[in-house]
Structure 1
């Protein structure tokens, strides 16, 4: 099919070098496709925030508790309608059906260079292979999309218009429960710094050997995700990989590295990955609540666990580590 990225052609040398391997093993964990390993994340009904003081306070405590113990949770009554999610998924499927040669053009959709990405260009062995493709949209760039993709643009704008204030609301709650001033986030984050990512995980003939998305933590303050009913998201909990059972009514929320840094490790940026599927393609859409490039990331609690650093410095260090080692060192580079 002309819309599939050339995974096998590009990765063939790496796979031939390791033809004896039968499973990926990263840190002793490995890929786990057994759906019986699925768990249900803490599920929080956000409508309780509109009830009396007692209910609101208990809901806020549950959000903070989940961020401390899991680094992940799910939310209901989040404001994103099922109709909107279905429309977005339909448009998402359509845009990924464009020929690979078209998608990979620098000016496709009238978006900046590298808005379309696939695989892992820095892979040096089979354990670093990523079997996925994605479109990255910084919020201000959505309006630049060509008129021929107006329905896609409208769906993305509608989704962003709901999840952007949702992210701010959750960040405000999480900050309040640690006595961190919300103004810190307001001063450093805006619509210009946050972005959406549309993900597609194609059927993978090597699904037991490679990842859909490599194990990683998010380099954000907060991420909000909608995964399809097929699932594939897994997170590290108590040293084991466990699958996140899809809930079609819920959005998944996870803490990013930057929130872990400013919270002095009170909130967890949990490592997670996506496993590949043999026959079914999978889709998800994620919103990343990020600061501006020159924002200073520093602990809002004392004594600090991490030294001060800018978001630009953090991103550049990650890019350097990935190019040199194929993996992200993350916050460990900034420990005091």
Structure 2
């Protein structure tokens, strides 16, 4: 690893004696989940002719699926990856300064805490910190053209994300409306639950690191969103939980990976699944992914026959409290009737 690349990492992620842990436990057996899982082919949907009945089954049985023929040029996806990698190569200090006159905010560690503006208690950081750094970009701020940064790379990346966001708004709306029709719910009433202004991009870089029992790129969790739409490179590491076991997702940079979040599970009265997933580190390669999350408008009341009424603001505050108190997200269980 070059000196400049080392300096681009947060200090805790830089190579040292503490992250050269062997990939085997004291008995010499590979650690559970250390690259031994089989990939499981996901349901695949063609956005040009979306099969809504098949989509309904995938949402009930999987909570995760792929999209092909999504209408996003491969050139856009490739440029986003290359620009993201270039931004992550900036020094750690330069990335920390990005928020000045720029809608892009840098974070590292557990995203649910570090992107909230709330300092991380030292005890919490020691529990189960995620080994990831990222760029947090609220959808609504992409359109504020007064945010002009002195760095051409930053401006070009923001413009690429703005173009990308138009595609993802179209895709998310199409999928959401199909799900609501399948559930026989009132689309007009639920439109605020897919509020464009709450969309959020998170661009992740996972450092190279030997696979260990305690260090994960992202620890197991469910997303708090309605939908999450992921574009990834070819490194891999994404895993999801189904039928009481973990499965790898084989990377495919030309398709999009979609998973349902907690808010969709609530709207469906638990008929649809908010899938549990995690990201494992790779000891040889960095991994870069770009995820789009869409949420209900913050103060929209979310109602269900099996959950107490709450707003997304209430839910987000509960998640942050969960992680600070327990070191992990409890989420929906706190709102069950």
Identify the match of residue 146 of structure 1 among 145, 149, 155.
149
Q: Where does residue 117 of structure 2 map in the other structure?
A: none
**In the alignment, is residue 223 of structure 1 matched against residue 228 of structure 2?**
yes
Aligned to 1:309: 310
Superimposed CA distance per residue, residues 2-38 of structure 1 (whole angstroms, 9 cap, x where no aligned partner): 11111257999xx79xx89967xxxxxx762426511
Distance in 1, Cα, partners of 2:252 & 2:36 = 14
Aligned to 2:185: 180
Counterpart-to-counterpart distance in 2, 1:191 and 1:110: 20
Q: Is the 8 A contact 2:124 2:324 kept in 1?
A: no
Q: State the match for 2:329 in structure 1.
A: 328
**2:22 and 2:138 mapped to 1: Cα distance?**
42
Offset at residue 157 of structure 1 (A) = 0.9
| TM-score normalised by structure 2 residue count | 0.85
Distance 2:244 2:229 in 1: 23
Residues 169-224 of structure 1: CA deviation (Å, up to 9, x unaligned): 10000110010122233234332111111111111145554101111100011111
**Relative to structure 1, is the Cα distance of residues 131 and 109 closer, same or farther in structure 2, using a 3 angstrom cutoff?**
farther
Give a deviation string over 1:25-84, Cα, whole Å, max 9, x none: xxxxx76242651111111112224xxxxxxxxx00111110110000001111111111
Contact 2:124–2:323 (Cα < 8 Å) also in 1: no
Give the alignment partner of residue 254 of structure 2, picking from 249, 252, 271. 249
Aligned to 2:39: 38
Provide the residue aligned with 1:137 in structure 2: 137
User: In structure 2, what is the Cα distance between the partners aligned to 1:139 and 1:145?
Assistant: 16
**Separation of aligned partners in 2, 1:92 and 1:130:** 19
Task: Tell me the TM-score normalized by structure 1.
Answer: 0.85
User: Structure 2 residue aligned with 1:85, among 77, 85, 106?
Assistant: 77
For 1:20 and 1:283, the matched residues in 2 are separated by 24
310 and 215 in structure 1: CA distance in 2 versus 1, 3 angstrom threshold: same
Q: Report the secondary structure of 1:84's partner residue.
A: helix
**Residue ranges of structure 2 left out of the alignment (5+ in a row):** 1-5, 26-30, 111-119
- Inter-CA distance 289–92: structure 2 relative to 1 (3 Å threshold): same
Shift of 1:136: 1.1
Structure 1 unmatched ranges of 5 or more: 24-29, 50-58
